[in-house]
Amino acid sequence: GQNIDQPTEMTATEGAIVQINCTYQTSGFNGLFWYQQHAGEAPTFLSYNVLDGLEEKGRFSSFLSRSKGYSYLLLKELQMKDSASYLCAVNRDDKIIFGKGTRLHILP
């Protein structure tokens, strides 16, 4: 089967750093996506990790450890506009399974 776990909600302060974790259990793993979704909008692609390690893209970085079934999304220099849900999704043989998302609240 497949199971994807991420915290339901997190709160952080503007200008700070936050790490959103995602753990998964699945067979046939091909890669892991992170998306940002603002309320009422479509998910926006942030990253796709296939191999172990850290990938950095501006203020956002994503890490993957396939042996541990673990990923995190790191957001630096938080801005108010980063208030959104962050979705972890696993690519399992071209079937994309989403977690329930982490709602991130940014405080001024």
Partner 1 sequence: EPEVTQTPSHQVTQMGQEVILRCVPISNHLYFYWYRQILGQKVEFLVSFYNNEISEKSEIFDDQFSVERPDGSNFTLKIRSTKLEDSAMYFCASSDGNEQFFGPGTRLTVL
Structure tokens at 77: 């220099």
Q: Minimum CB separation from partner 1 for residue 67, in Å?
A: 22
> Does 93 contact partner 1 by CB under 8 A?
yes
> C-alpha angle with apex 31: 28 to 78, nearest 5 degrees?
145
Stretch that binds partner 1, among 8-16, 17-25, 34-42, 73-81 (CB under 8 A): 34-42
Task: State yes or no: residue 95 binds partner 1 (CB under 8 A).
Answer: yes
Say how far apart CA 91 and CA 36 lie, in whole Å: 17
Q: Is 98 in the site for partner 1 (CB under 8 A)?
A: yes
Q: Give the Cα separation of 83 and 36 in Å (integer).
A: 9
**Which part of the chain contacts partner 1 (CB under 8 A), choosing from 11-19, 62-70, 73-81, 97-105?**
97-105
Distance CA 7, CA 11 (A): 11
Residues lying near partner 1 in the complex (CB under 8 A) are found at 33, 35, 37, 41-45, 48, 50, 87, 89, 93-101
